[in-house]
Amino acid sequence: MNSKKVHQGAAIASPDLVDTRWSLYWALRGLLRGDSPSRRDQKGEGEEMVRDPQCGVYIPHSNALKRRVRGETVFFCSRECEGAYKEKARM
């Protein structure tokens, strides 16, 4: 009898898979916004990075969602992080 154990729990993504997904996300987002690498290189300088207060990721200033929260300017990597941050602030 050949018995195989089947894992019934949730799938766990490897760090490499998560990195690949984030890289793909940012590449597609840049393409959809028309932000090609050659256009960025024409500036001749690096771009300021800003930190998302919800998830802690650093993102280019031009790709960030800029919002005013309680009189302070904050930057988010996604609408999901913005919503979670605002929801946490209400508690």
- The range of the structural domain enclosing residue 28 comes to 12-45
Residues 62 and 38 in one domain: no
Residues 51 and 34 in one domain: no
pLDDT in tens, 72-82: 899 999 999 99
Does residue 1 fall inside a structural domain? no
Q: Which residues of the chain have pLDDT under 50?
A: 44
Helices assigned H by DSSP within 1-91 = 15-32, 37-41, 79-90
Residues 53 and 79 in one domain: yes
* Contacts of 21 by beta carbon, 8 Å cutoff, 6+ apart: 13
> Which candidate, 40, 90, 47, 42, places its Cα nearest to that of 69?
90
On whether the pTM is more than 0.85, the answer is no
Does residue 32 fall inside a structural domain? yes
d(C-alpha 32, C-alpha 79), whole Å: 16
Tell me how many domains the chain contains: 2
Residues 86 and 71 in one domain: yes
Residue type, 88: K
Does residue 87 fall inside a structural domain? yes
Residues 71 and 40 in one domain: no
Residues 53 and 89 in one domain: yes
Report the pLDDT value the prediction gives residue 44, as an integer from 0 to 100.
Answer: 47
